[in-house]
């Protein structure tokens, strides 16, 4: 039997074809159910790779047959009593242990190559889950050498998915102790979050530009109409811009389907969540600060939860050195505090934020 018969292909120096054939046959001869065939397959695979490199190899793979010894057979020899006392040659445990470990390392390398060769360049949550459920991975998952080689192969891959899918991948890697691969996935997740936020900002900027162009075009058309009128006493009516509607449009990408309409907060299913709203503070995020007859509250449109703000006045502020982070200025009986958008106080302010050199009040 030749190495090519074992691999199930014609003689070739194409490494890709050899690896593909090995991966196919490794699924047939599992190391647990067919250990001898699997070992023979690995030897054939190694020799085929040597052949692909141009090295001469013996392509005939000997068939291993165990000698048959009948249990009732008694072998009798004429042995000199003196010679029978010769002590046996001691067996080196270190030599056999080293050979065993070497074979084990080689086997791990072949198995990892077999698994990795079937993986795409870009890994998503489904692919990673299928990988850890693979029968070969389940067999070798307790072997630290195998796991180390598999993790190194994963680190070279690109990971893709949504935020939720990245969370699934991080959990899988953590469960299997792949710490370095987990750090790699976290980098891809952070890059995804940055690109997602940038996309939302670009959408908001686009809306602002559209509104500005629309307003300028309206004013231009009105000026043309004024020029055509002979009556010089005719005055141009000021543009009637609904500020609340405009800010609602600008914040739409962040509000998860929520909107403010007719003094009420409406969810994505057109259900009224909060009524009798007389003031709204948009924060360019999933948080909306609302004031009604009950006072101020911060509503999270993502988790659909609210936090009461027990303060006399609330304003939206920004640190002058930070252009993308918003805070709340909270006034309680003349004392001002700086908090995050959920109302968690960060520090007490020395003065009204509108008078501060470090803060800027955002007004609509």
Read off the pLDDT of residues 58-117 as tens digits, 9 standing for 90 and up.
666 544 433 343 444 444 444 444 444 544 544 434 433 433 444 455 566 777 777 877
Question: Assign residue 93 a region: left if phi > 0, alpha if psi is -120 to 50, beta otherwise?
Answer: alpha
Q: Token pair 């005719």 is at which residue?
A: 234
Distance CA 1, CA 63 (A): 7
Distance CA 87, CA 83 (A): 9
Q: What is the pLDDT of residue 67?
A: 38
* DSSP notation for 20-67: HHHHHHHHHS-TTT-HHHHHHHHHHHHHHHHHHTT-----B-PPP-PP
- What are the tokens at 61? 């793979």
User: Which segment, 62-66, 195-199, 250-254, is predicted with the most confidence on average?
Assistant: 250-254
DSSP state of 88: P
Q: What pTM, to 2 d.p., does this model score?
A: 0.36
Per-residue pLDDT tens digits for 301-359: 999 999 999 998 999 998 888 767 889 999 998 899 999 999 999 999 988 888 888 88
Distance CA 225, CA 223 (A): 5
Q: How many H helices and E strands in the chain?
A: 11, 14
């Amino acid at each position: 039997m030749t190495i090519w018969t074992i691999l199930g292909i014609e003689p070739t120096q194409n490494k890709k074809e050899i690896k593909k054939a090995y991966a196919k046959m490794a699924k047939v001869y599992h190391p647990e159910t067919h250990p001898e065939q699997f070992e023979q397959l690995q030897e054939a695979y190694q020799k085929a790779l040597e052949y692909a490199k141009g090295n001469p190899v013996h392509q005939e793979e000997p068939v291993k047959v165990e000698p048959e010894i009948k249990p009732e057979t008694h072998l009798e020899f004429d042995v000199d009593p003196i010679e029978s006392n010769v002590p046996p040659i001691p067996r080196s445990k270190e030599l056999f242990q080293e050979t065993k470990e070497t074979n084990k390392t080689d086997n791990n390398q072949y198995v990892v190559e077999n698994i990795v060769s079937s993986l795409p360049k870009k890994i998503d949550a489904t692919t990673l889950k299928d990988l850890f459920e693979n029968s070969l991975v389940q067999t070798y998952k307790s072997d630290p050498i195998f796991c180390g080689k598999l993790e190194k192969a994963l680190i070279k891959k690109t990971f893709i998915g949504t935020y939720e899918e990245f969370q699934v991948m991080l959990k899988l890697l953590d469960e299997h102790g792949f710490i370095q691969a987990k750090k790699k996935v976290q980098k891809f997740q952070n890059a995804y979050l940055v690109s997602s936020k940038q996309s939302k900002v670009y959408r908001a900027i686009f809306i602002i530009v559209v509104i500005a162009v629309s307003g300028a075009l309206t004013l231009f058309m009105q000026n043309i109409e004024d020029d055509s009128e002979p009556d010089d006493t005719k005055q141009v009516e000021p543009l009637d811009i609904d500020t609340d509607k405009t800010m609602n449009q600008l914040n739409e990408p962040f509000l998860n389907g929520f909107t403010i309409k007719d003094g009420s907060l409406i969810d994505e299913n057109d259900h009224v969540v909060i009524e009798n709203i007389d003031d709204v503070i948009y924060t360019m995020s999933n948080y909306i600060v609302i004031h009604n007859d009950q006072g101020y509250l911060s509503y999270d449109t993502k988790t659909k939860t609210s936090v009461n703000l027990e303060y006399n006045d609330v304003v939206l502020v920004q640190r002058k050195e930070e252009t993308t982070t918003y805070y709340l200025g909270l006034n309680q009986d003349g004392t001002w505090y700086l908090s995050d958008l959920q109302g968690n106080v960060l520090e007490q302010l020395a003065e009204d934020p509108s008078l501060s050199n470090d803060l800027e009040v955002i007004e609509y």
